Amino acid sequence: MAEYEPDRDHELRLLKLVLDDEQCVDEAREAFEGMLEWLKDAPRGHLSAKQRAWLEGIANKLEVDQAPVDNSRVPRGKEVAPAWSTNLPKKPPRRT
């Protein structure tokens, strides 16, 4: 089953919004600038779960406008047997 893939564009946009806010604390600003530079340099990079949670927590605290993102996994659907497997005999024929 595939892992949840975070949205890289959302992370970049949220980092820029938090950095543009003047109420952002200096220590957090330095960390977020580092994260932003790293994301720009790594073409397939994503924030870790802890980094993302911290970023979203700061964004909520600063009341930065952010689009809702669903982080839940999609439930697995009903298992469907292929058509060819339903026509097979249940037991092999007996030897006489």
Over 70: is that where the pLDDT of 90 sits?
yes
Strands of the chain, DSSP E:
none
Cα distance between residue 86 and residue 66, in whole Å: 49
- Residue 59 tokens read as 């964004």
The 10s digit of each residue's pLDDT in 46-88 is 888 898 888 888 888 887 766 555 666 777 888 888 877 777 7
| Residue 6 pLDDT grade (very low, low, confident, very high; cuts 50, 70, 90) | low
**pLDDT tens figures, 26-53:** 788 888 889 889 888 887 888 888 988 8
The span from the CA of 26 to the CA of 91, in Å, is 72
